[in-house]
Chain A
């Protein structure tokens, strides 16, 4: 493993340095039919799940085959994607915001061969490499975060919970039987590096224990004032601590009652580790949406306060998700998103229909957001 220089010389780091050039220009990567018809698209149609056609004013057409993919992707798999694009699509492809891969062709004749090629490709373990779907009134790919694969604050794994969930709802990835689109999102801690707070169903990794304090190292590793200031509930204060050998060190004290386990202090100070096998797990949220269609965007609501991490397939979590999807599929009206359905039937009915127990943890008690969620009417259902 000899070191190979790219041409960069650490002795003269400024020599020939190129900075701030930004991304490549998107037009280099437009398929020709896209370039020719940009801004002049007339309509689209979903021919079958995962297959779209867009028709331009000129009469030109572009057919898109959308495939699901794990967002964690190897270079070898990306090269395979490139080979498919070269073989069928003149080398052009794109990714969607929800981690799907889109292969585009400019004529209907090319669709069947591409579909057949994609369907045949499987991993050694048996799963599809490029399942076609993710369109219309169905479930698209799950946007998610890093989890245990690469993050320092997660309360659960992301890739694993997503794989388990997508296996469970796979038929709805490849079908469009639901009353409206249903979007699932996953974030492995409260930081939510994705918009799970506005998704139809959200899987959220959550800690339930206040951080530990590594007194021996805290003062050496951390800016104490920064750690104190990071706490949104003012639960942290400075404190002297006596180590077993009698040495007195500057450290912190935590008012555990006030901690909401957000992990912000850990981000500021690595001597406050928060993760815990029993403490960590999953929160499920429901009913959010982004679109302005019919009614305004909505936040997701917490419907299950805690499910423990059940590696490797999180069966309790996927079963609750399955129950919610089925109750929604059979009960909601056409065009009604999950949150709209829950509001129409009432949340008390939502819990009943989805067979989810309502617990005291679901009553908001965080700051002024809470008041607006308590019921101030006698209009409720028995």
Chain B
């Protein structure tokens, strides 16, 4: 018997898509029965009350969670987010209901045993409800009480060799696409770089010392499956400098219809026979492809690596071998000054685990030095770049201006010159001037 009536939420149990309401009811029931004999460290009826408070939000059309509160584990400023219910008498099981962010393994790969160990902790010391995963990428545990935080942290670090993630004005838990672990398009090992930088910058991740949040995301190729170009202050997108590799036999197999285009992504509809001219060559944004008899030709120098031809014919075309990353900076959602896409800063940077990715960390650290010095409270990197100018960022990173940095050169000629760029500087003698120019 459910603790609270939930007539509105019950309507979300029907329909084919997995119902979070059914799932919560299942968890509430499992806790109530407690067949596993768990010594619950927060109220047994936490999930019942979570359903109850959500139902009340469905009645009121408003949230019933209070604002923040400072909670955390000793020595960390991030990883835990305080949360309290604004109807604690009605729902005592969730009166205190903090979030714990747990660092996810790169690529979000797991083994069942590890997930079970995590759940052993969380079903005993928390509500048992999670997000797999939060929008930033962490494993998110929803709902525990303050006195459990150190216990959870102790068990995570001592028994599971696992740490908390980031929250607040710090480096947020970096996240990556699947990368070269299972994707033929990946131009580098996103898992390797993500894991390395996550560990290198643990201090920045756990102790807020930044003006605001800072996000790294790692995409293996310009397809951008982890959306780094839209949502990360620094976006690392795999790319290559040399030629696309062509298997001419496979090209013919696509033309002949033996292989379905785009890895079979269009199988749900009859689009007619594959037409390489119409579907690949004519859609190439740089018009750098053509057929010469039975051979597909690419003028690689003109290719902008948009990925369309490779996506369309993955068995015929492969990314080049001379690979690295493009680094883009300053992406963010609209809050507060409007949306920003990542802007290209470094067209090509080597990804080399042998020297601890020195070329990458050099760019990161020069940007942090500048942002920590100049950024205002709650100013994202993208906003600082707009305020101070892109040229300032080139200056602090020591990257030389390049036509690749702009989609077009400026339309207005209001060019700011630095004094040392103009012969003789700005200090002039008006008396000398007046010798030849009367008042």
Residues of A at under 8 Å CB distance from B? 1-8, 10, 13-14, 16-26, 28-30, 34, 38-39, 41-49, 52, 54, 62, 64, 68-79, 81-83, 85-86, 91-97, 99, 101, 123-131, 135-138, 143-154, 157, 159-160, 163-164, 166-167, 170, 173, 175-178, 181, 187, 190-198, 226, 229-230, 232, 262, 264, 266-267, 270, 275-278, 280, 288, 290-295, 297, 299, 309, 311-313, 334-335, 366-367, 369
Contacts and interface: CB of A to CB of B under 8 A. Distances in A.
Contact of A123 (B19, B115, B122): B19
B132 A47 contact: no
Contacts of A148: 54, 57-58, 62-65
B71 interface: no
A75 B47 CA distance: 11
A293 B307 contact: yes
Nearest to A329: B269
Interface in B1-51: 8-27, 30, 39-41, 43-44, 47, 50
Interface class of chain A by DSSP: loop
Given A23-B163, A78-B119, A129 B18 contact: yes
Interface of B: 8-27, 30, 39-41, 43-44, 47, 50, 54, 57-68, 74-76, 83, 97, 99, 103-116, 119, 122-124, 128-137, 142-143, 147, 150-155, 157-158, 160-163, 175, 177-178, 180-184, 186, 189, 191, 195, 198-199, 202-203, 205-206, 222-227, 229-231, 260, 262-269, 271, 279, 283, 285, 305-308, 311-312, 314-315, 333-339, 341, 377-378
Contacts of A309: 61
A38 B268 contact: no
A298 to B, nearest CB: 9
A193 to B, nearest CB: 4
Contacts of A30: 109, 181
Contacts of A367: 337-338
Nearest to B407: A296
B112 A86 contact: yes
A74 B27 contact: yes
Nearest to B188: A39
Contacts of A69: 18, 132
Contact of A41 (B47, B61, B129, B184): B184
- Among A74, A193, A264, A297, max chain B CB count under 10 A is at A74
A152 B147 CA distance: 22
A285 B132 CA distance: 25
A121 to B, nearest CB: 10
Given A145-B135, A297-B230, A22 B202 contact: yes
Contacts of A28: 105, 111, 114
B112 A73 contact: no
Given A99-B132, A143-B135, A153-B63, A164 B27 contact: no
A165 B186 CA distance: 32
A163 B10 CA distance: 12
Contacts of B63: 147-148, 151-154, 275
B112 A97 contact: no
Contact of A38 (B25, B189, B231): B189
Given A22-B198, A24-B105, A47-B264, A70 B61 contact: no
